[in-house]
Amino acid sequence: MLDFGFPELLVIAAVAVLVIGPKELPAVMRFLGRIVRRLQYIRYAFSQQFEDFMRESDLDDLRRSVNFEEKRFDEAAADEEEFMEPLPSPEIKDNE
């Protein structure tokens, strides 16, 4: 989504120093760091509430069955082998 490279970050830092000023820049960066930390905590708290809800309503097994990332390699290989089996050929009757 936000794909910033090193040159873009340097331009943003140079503009920030010019606009904000070198004396106020540490305070602004500290403020932005606190906002980012709070947003991360909100995301963590929301995911924990979701996990608690799933556990309380016994939907944890359903979530695991839908989550493909938790599937073990052996299970994934068994599923693949099941789909790779040839279909039985239809029997052809002669009209005699």
Instruction: Provide the residue ranges of all domains of the chain, joining segments of one domain with +.
Output: 13-84
Band of pLDDT at residue 45, cut at 50, 70 and 90: very high
Residue 88 confidence (pLDDT) above 80: no
Which pTM value belongs to this model?
Answer: 0.47
Q: State whether residue 89 is helix, strand or coil.
A: coil
Nearest-CA neighbor of 70 among 61, 78, 59? 61
CA nearest 84: which of 73, 76, 92?
A: 76
- pLDDT exceeds 70 at position 33: yes
